[in-house]
Amino acid sequence: MRVNILKLQEMKRAGEKIAMLTAYDYSTAKLVDEAGVHLILVGDSLGMVVLGHDSTVPVSLDDMLHHTRAVVRGTKQALVIGDMPFMTYQVNANDALRNAGRFLQETGCQAVKLEGGVHMAPTVKRIVECGIPVMGHIGLTPQSINQLGGHRVQGKTPETARKLLEDALALEQAGAFAIVLELVPAQLAQLITQRLKIPTIGIGAGQYCDGQVLVINDMLGLFTDFVPKHTRQYLKLADTIRAALSEYVTDVQSNRFPAAENTFNMDEALLKDL
């Protein structure tokens, strides 16, 4: 049975931590699901770790629908969240609702995520009122990276901290079922978590959030352009993959691959009349 938003609320009340990861394809999603991860975000971070862009801004709705469909096909238990890309929800609430609906109808995911606080609350309310669960996202909002001036911790002054708390409360009031807090000081994330009835999911926001999320390519050591400070690398798969690929090239060039066990045969007598 899939995790649902009621289960997440129960986990917060019980003090049970929520594990969330990104995934972008069927095979990876299947492994993440089998590991017992509660939430899978098909993040627009695929723009960088899958498509090779330098930010999330170029990611299109078609990109997100394509990858979300693949992830849903690989899952049975995790709640799958489709990340709404840049300019698919900012223009007006009707566009946002239409595009959120496409995620659920065309991919089979169970929820969507969008960035922004107080100014996006009316849009969140409109989407939720039509039966589509919405996860909020405040703090560092990658789609606004050009305005924010880079990947910088948010909420370090009393004024900006107060603004983030107001954003979180507005999203909860609008009906969001959870909120991602990205690059927020741990003390502020703790305060927000205590004030909200809905779960907070941290990424670079300390241990006091109700749950944590990482980009799977970062935590497995697959993305090598840079390693974010907030990431813990559980593996360094890039090194393992490079070694395997080098061994393959050597085996091909030395004629050690394919070997007999990789080869199909037939009776050579059948070839005599050819």
What are 48-99's pLDDT values in tens digits? Answer: 999 999 999 999 999 999 999 999 999 999 999 999 999 999 999 999 999 9
Catalytic: 268?
Answer: no
What lies within 8 Å, CB to CB, of 237 at 6+ separation is 220, 221, 222
What one-character-per-residue DSSP string does 183-246 give? Answer: S--HHHHHHHHHH-SS-EEEESS-TTSSEEEE-HHHHTT---S---TT---S--HHHHHHHHHH
> How does residue 108 score in pLDDT terms, banded at 50, 70 and 90?
very high
Which of the 8 DSSP states describes residue 85? P
Query: Hey, how many other C-beta atoms are within 10 angstroms of the C-beta on 166?
Result: 14
> What tokens were used for 137?
């996202």
Instruction: Give residue limits of the domains in the chain.
Output: 5-236, 241-271
Residue 134 contacts residue 175 (beta carbons within 8 Å): yes
* Mean pLDDT, residues 11-21: 98
What is the rounded end-to-end Cα distance, in angstroms, of the chain? 58
pLDDT above 70 for 254: yes
* Choice among 16, 115, 172, 182 that is catalytic: 182
pLDDT above 90 for 273: no
* Mean pLDDT, residues 196-210: 98
> How does residue 125 score in pLDDT terms, banded at 50, 70 and 90?
very high
Question: Rounded to 10 degrees, what is the CA torsion of 216, 218, 222, 224?
Answer: 160
What one-character-per-residue DSSP string does 5-54 give? Answer: HHHHHHHHHHT--EEEEE--SHHHHHHHHHTT-SEEEE-TTHHHHTT--S
pLDDT above 90 for 149: no
pLDDT above 70 for 148: no
> How does residue 249 score in pLDDT terms, banded at 50, 70 and 90?
very high
Least confident window among 46-50, 229-233, 243-247: 229-233
Least confident window among 78-82, 174-178, 193-197, 270-274: 270-274
pLDDT above 90 for 115: yes
- Using alpha carbons, select from 56, 236, 243, 139 the residue that is nearest to residue 227: 236
pLDDT above 80 for 145: no
The answer as to CATH 3.10.580.10 being correct for domain 5-236 is no
Amino acid at residue number 188: L
Q: SS3 for 58?
A: coil
Cis peptide before 258 (omega within 30 of 0): yes
Average pLDDT of every residue of the chain? 96
